[in-house]
Amino acid sequence: MEKQQEIEALRKELEDYRKEKEQIRKIIGAIGGAGYDLRERILNCIFVFLLCAIFLADILRHFWDFKIPYLTPLLSIEIGVLLVSVKIIWMIHKQTKVEHFQFWILNSIEFRLNAIAKKLEQIGKKDEDGKA
């Protein structure tokens, strides 16, 4: 009878583990593990468009004497460096966020493994006590 209860307890823990695994999958998908969302794609397109526009304006200025008021070569370089810097900072921030969640997930898995190891050890001691 006692073994039946232990088996039921282990089945319940397995079912809880499966539910937690599904929750973790949803969380990973929400933080960017399953691809980009629409907002990120739009921002990436804006960054690329702005950098290409500045580059094209500078190319046109050098080869065909195309002049844009208030956009000097130095200012266009500074704007380009600023855009690239903002993009890099944004990517670092997103990566830090992902790493934080990965650490949290690994920590929770380790905690659950330790709890299961303790229960298995207790079950092993009960079996040894019962056989002896």
pLDDT digits (tens, 9 = 90+) for 40-82: 889 889 999 999 988 888 888 888 877 777 878 888 889 989 9
pLDDT of residue 37: 75
pLDDT band at 32 (very low <50, low <70, confident <90, very high): low
> What letter does residue 33 receive in the DSSP assignment?
I
Sign of CA dihedral 115, 121, 124, 130: negative
> What letter does residue 49 receive in the DSSP assignment?
H
What's the pTM?
0.56
Q: Are 58 and 73 in contact (CB under 8 A)?
A: yes
Pick from 48, 54, 49, 46: nearest CA to 74: 54
pLDDT band at 123 (very low <50, low <70, confident <90, very high): confident
Pick from 12, 6, 16, 14: nearest CA to 122: 6
Domain boundaries, the chain: 2-131
